[in-house]
Chains A and B, each alone.
Chain A
Amino acid sequence: MQDLIWLIPALPLAGFAFLVFFGKRLGEPAAGWLATAAVGGSFLATVGVFLSLRGEAEADRQYTQTLFEWLPVGGLQVDMGFLVDPLSISMALFVTGIATLIHLYSIGYMHGDPKFSKFFVYLNLFVFSMLMLVLGDNLLVTFLGWEGVGACSYLLISFWHDSEANASAGKKAFVTNRIGDFGFMVAMFFTFSALGTISYTGIVDASPSLSTTTATVIAVMLFIGACGKSAQLPLFVWLPDAMAGPTPVSALIHAATMVTGGVYLLARMNPVIAEAATWIPWMIAIVGAITALVAATIAVAQNDIKKVLAYSTVSQLGYMFLAIGSGAYVAAVFHMITHAFFKALLFLGSGSVIHGMHGEQDMRRMGALRKLMPITGVTFIIGWLAIAGIPPFAGFWSKDEILLFTFAKSPILWAMGFVTAILTAFYMSRQVFMVFFGEPKWDRPLAEAAPELAAEREASGVHEGHGVGPSGQIHPHESSWTMTLPLVVLAFCAAVAGGLNIPIWDATKHLEHWLYPVIQFDEADLSVATGTKVGLALLAIVGAASGLLLAVLVYLKRRLDVAHKVEQPLFAKGWYYDSAIASFMGGPGRKAFDAVARFDKHIVDGAVNAVASGVGQGSAKGRLIQTGYVRNYALAMALGVVVITALLLSKAVF
């Protein structure tokens, strides 16, 4: 089974290559089935390798397979190889599994789209890149995958690029990611110069020899890279805009896989972080906590069904970073896995709702959909309960684990995480109630049903979608089996994934034991009394329940009329972060760019031009030696003779 490691990324790559050339000819839906089969095959290969890895003793749980020597350049020896150990196979498992489900879903979702096969081309390429990121055995292969997923994210966000907004969203994602890429690259360079190797096994062996300063610099640069890819505080602006892409893209890339790349990188490089200064984990934790809290506040005020989920993703990623900062690597990975399940489920569910509502995405136009879209409704509710942290669903276990470690590190950070948990429950409940419960807002014309929305749309000149019937109604319907089957599977996973690492008894801490060889360096030792653990768990449940209850009161039963206070413009506009960046870049930023451009034009180009014109002027002066008069040339010859005589004399005399 070990020899089949290369199949895992090779199958999606083959799918990509085949579809690039023959996709259009295959057409809909054969291209989709082929792509799904490719990724499905990859998933089966992953399962095979996983089972084989499980069969090994704990000390031997590491397969490597080197395909070929990639860069033998002097002291730098980089191979194209794969490292399969518990961390990477776990990630590969849920990446390929969820990707297969999403490919299946896309066959139904993208039905009728003229660029159907191109979508699957990009999706397969994305899965290949993500697998390279996860399975690579050195930083450079991971970086190859890193850049690949960034590029595919750009291609897929701006899939419907006829609209200016979609194209800009794609560009924004790419540029913001690029800032992170710079951090990754610098970290790679520093690692090589300090350790002489960039392969993970080499780094693990050599990391004790790192000086604290070097390790700190590397850790900071890696953190910048992770911030870009995983949308943490300064660089999260691209993720909400990325919702311009089709919903399967949002589910796959911006919920389950690409954005977890940053978390994976930090987990992989944990030996280096262990050698870094002690303020590094604090920085990671603080940034994670602030991101989680801020994103949750913004999510509370969003009306687009996908934007709520986007900010929710940023918030949950903040939790993962908070976990890493608190030394809880296992909890971070656990939360990554559970989050992948329920976030993908929620996104796919929202896609099903949008599909059923014929393209309407604003929640103010929805309501009471659970009777008309039963499967979507039930699965979405399961996902909701999971993310809100209601036991026994998956989200409760992973979030609780994180909060426990955070409490051990700092009660203030714990408080921030706790408030975020309450807010998470609140806004997710709000979303569920607005969409699936309450009164239907789609069986009347827009102006009657949702006056503010109608006013907004009028102001910005947006017209009703084509799904609207003659008397201003929409007729929602349940989606086809290709879309509901993945929802059911994911709902099942979201429900039971908590079983991976129930922290109460040591025997059930499967994930922790599984990941031990990889994460042993940095897992914080927890010396918290059982009483505190139970107390915190109960507090978490109470917090989640109170958030839920508050949402019930405000949005379901309409007892409390605080909706407008909660959904204030500060949150709705994302704390004006985007507009601040825009005005900075337009104002002082632009001046700086212009100054740099001027410098380049006048000084750099000027120097080169000066050399050229200097040569020209010199030769213009030199040209005057050619007077054309024979006597002048004769004079030159005579002077030459004089010089030679002088030379002879000097040789003779001296």
Chain B
Amino acid sequence: MIVGAVGATPYLLLSALLFSIGAAGLLIRRNALVMFMCVELMLNAVNLSFVTFARELDDLGGQVAVFFVLVVAAAEVVVGLGIIVSIFRRRPGATADDLSVLKG
């Protein structure tokens, strides 16, 4: 198998980086679909860290967790896109900024 001495830290740092990029993207973009993609990015970052820990701790539970995260992410995407479709039917060109009725 592939042998290396990378350890956990670089993978975790990468995971943190991807997560931060996803968070920043979520805050910056207005388009609903792009924001959703940023969420997926964050989920993937978390998956990566799970797998890293699984290898580090010699525990298969981490990989099982990733499996379930994947399933849930899929379900979530389905429902989320359904919502987006139904919103866009009413208001084509809606962005996240259109929800401002609760302005104080």
Contacts and interface: CB of A to CB of B under 8 A. Distances in A.
Q: Do the two chains bind? A: yes
Interface of A: 623-631, 634-635, 638
Interface string B49-92: 00000000000000000000000000000000000000000000
Given A631-B27, A638-B23, A626 B99 contact: no
A634 B102 CA distance: 15
Given A623-B104, A625-B104, A628-B104, A635 B99 contact: no
A638 B27 contact: yes
Contact of A631 (B23, B96, B102, B103): B96
A629 B104 contact: no
Q: Is the interface of A mostly helix, strand, loop or mixed?
A: helix
B104 A631 contact: no
Contacts of A629: 96-97, 99-100
A626 B102 contact: yes
B27 A628 contact: no
Nearest first, the 4 A-B pairs at minimum CB distance are: A626-B104, A628-B103, A628-B100, A623-B104
Given A626-B103, A630-B99, A638-B27, 18 more contacts: A623-B104, A624-B104, A625-B104, A626-B104, A627-B100, A627-B103, A627-B104, A628-B99, A628-B100, A629-B96, A629-B97, A629-B100, A630-B96, A630-B97, A631-B27, A631-B30, A631-B97, A638-B23
B6 interface: no
A635 B97 CA distance: 13
A635 B101 CA distance: 18
Contacts of B26: 634
B94 to A, nearest CB: 12
Contacts of B100: 627-629
A624 B103 CA distance: 8
Nearest to A631: B96
B24 to A, nearest CB: 8
B30 A628 contact: no
B29 to A, nearest CB: 9
B31 to A, nearest CB: 12
B104 A634 contact: no
22 contacts: A624-B104, A626-B102, A626-B103, A626-B104, A627-B100, A627-B104, A628-B100, A628-B101, A628-B102, A628-B103, A628-B104, A629-B96, A629-B99, A630-B96, A630-B97, A630-B99, A631-B27, A631-B97, A634-B26, A635-B27, A638-B23, A638-B27
Interface string B17-31: 000000100110010
A185 B74 CA distance: 85
A5 B97 CA distance: 88
Interface in B32-55: none
